[in-house]
Chains A and B, each alone.
Chain A
Amino acid sequence: MIALDLTEKRFGPTQVLGALRLEVARGEVLGIEGPSGTGKSTLLRILAGVDTRFEGKMQAPSRRAMVFQEPVLMPWRRVIDNLTIPTGASEDEAEHWLCRVGLSGYGAHWPGQLSLGQARRVGLARAFASRPELLILDEPFVSLDAERVDDLLELTARLISETQPAVVLASHAVRELDRLATRRAVLAGRPARLTAL
């Protein structure tokens, strides 16, 4: 379970996020939509624990994982190491998660040898390999073709259903929100505020 009671978030003199409350229980998927530049990524960075400079309180589990807009893999480490090093998972566990995302046998590849779709699957496998209690998805399927997005949506939905983390998903794509979100909210305005749908 994650609970955020934000008073405000500023970048210098600019207030980006206004007062907002957000709670997500385990097994729940909160889908956040909103126009570009409203502060969705800023909100996700706060939830992920990357940005701690905000006014407010947050209760979040220690085991957090994130799937980024770009795969964000270490290009100088082999695929399997991209799972084991950040998450602390064993090689067997990493192989298991690679297998779950359809990349069985890709452990010895370098990330640069993968297609964008495969790299995104590695990012997904890395997130689940850390056995997260809170999973943050920041437009995880952007710039993929429709067929690949459908495959990845099905896969992600299945893995979430099996592992039951609290999930916060930010996306512009209605299809992704429809398929994954159990609850939806809109982030809009200046400073941005969250409105439940």
Chain B
Amino acid sequence: MIALARKRHIPSGGRSALPAHAIATPDWRAVGRTIVSILAALFLWAGLAFVLDDPAHAPGPQQVLPELFEGLASGKMLPDLGATLWRVGLSFALAMGIGAALGILLGLSRRADAWFDPWLTIWNNIPALVLIVLCYLWIGLNETAAVMAVALNKVPLVAVMLREGVRARDPALSEMARVFGMGFVARHRHILIPQLMPHILAAARAGLALIWKVVLVVEFLGRSNGIGFRIHLNFQMFDIAGVLAWASAFVLVMLAIEWLVLAPLTAHAARWRRE
């Protein structure tokens, strides 16, 4: 992850006119470290492929990367990347929305938690594949079933993480809000949500990593486009370099989301800790 660090002089008087994110600058040492780390992984991969000397079963970066760059540069991979990204985005939004609402409810109400905690435990332990197969059987081999299957896999994880966040909140702040008569919206915006933010971001990170893997399985089993579908075709042709090239394309997209969206969001949410 690219770490964002900020050094900031606090003026001797008044409020800063600059929003915090406006003066965020990358930590170039961390960027350099990340690049070196990725290059080291590539060299290790290339070394292993060289030692094994079997490009059909253990292709190295020299076989996979040209296929990946050709697919991206020619635009051949883009429709499938887009289809997978759309499914990831939709299921992610659904899972985060339903999971967060459920987690907050269970965190706030002991009674609701006492009733629904066993449900959540069972739900969390149902294998992803079972939910996928059931959704396809019940709803049909369509887009709704695919998105539902992925979201249903992720909801209990988000709910558990958010429930723990609500439980860990500082009761003194809630009391302060009540004494001063803060309204419903203000209490949630300034007291509850900031305390939940680390949990929301952790759930988003863990969720995104889980969701795209489940999306691939969903596409593998029952869709006619997307990275999972392409991996299925390459699997049938025993094209291991092709499998790795398609998977790498989506890894790149997910890394871009991590670096361009999640990391800056995390840095912005935690800015009060660093200054």
Which residues of A line the B interface, CB within 8 A? 45, 48-50, 62, 64-66, 68, 70, 72, 74-78, 80-81, 85-87, 91, 95, 104-105, 107-110, 112-113, 126, 130, 136
- Do A74 and B173 touch across chains, with their CB atoms under 8 A apart? yes
B-side interface residues, number (CB < 8 Å):
25
Establish whether residues B176 and A68, one from each chain, have CB atoms under 8 Å apart when the complex forms. yes
Most buried by B among A45, A77, A85, A112: A85
The contact sample of 11 A-B pairs, CB cut-off 8 A, is A62-B181, A64-B179, A68-B172, A74-B191, A74-B194, A76-B194, A91-B15, A107-B14, A108-B16, A110-B272, A113-B10
Task: Name B residues whose Cβ lies closer than 8 Å to a Cβ of A.
Answer: 10-16, 172-173, 175-182, 186, 190-191, 194, 197, 272-273, 275
Taking the nearest CB of chain B, how far is it from the CB of A17, in angstroms?
18
- Of the candidates A86, A87, A105, which one forms a contact with B14 in the assembled complex, judged by CB atoms under 8 Å apart? A105
- Contact between B190 and A85 (Cβ–Cβ < 8 Å)? yes
CB distance from A58 to the nearest CB of B (A): 14
Q: Known contacts being A104-B13, A108-B11, is A45 close to B175, with CB within 8 Å? A: yes
Minimum Cβ distance to chain B for residue A73 (Å) = 9
> Would you list the 4 A-B pairs with minimal beta carbon distance, nearest first?
A105-B13, A86-B180, A76-B194, A66-B179
Measured in the bound complex, the distance between the Cα atoms of B178 and A65 in whole Å is 10
Roughly how many angstroms separate A89 CA and B191 CA in the complex, as a whole number?
18
Residues in B neighbouring A70, C-beta threshold 8 A: 172
B8 nearest in chain A by CB position = A108
Residues of chain B within 8 A of A66, CB atoms compared: 176, 179-180
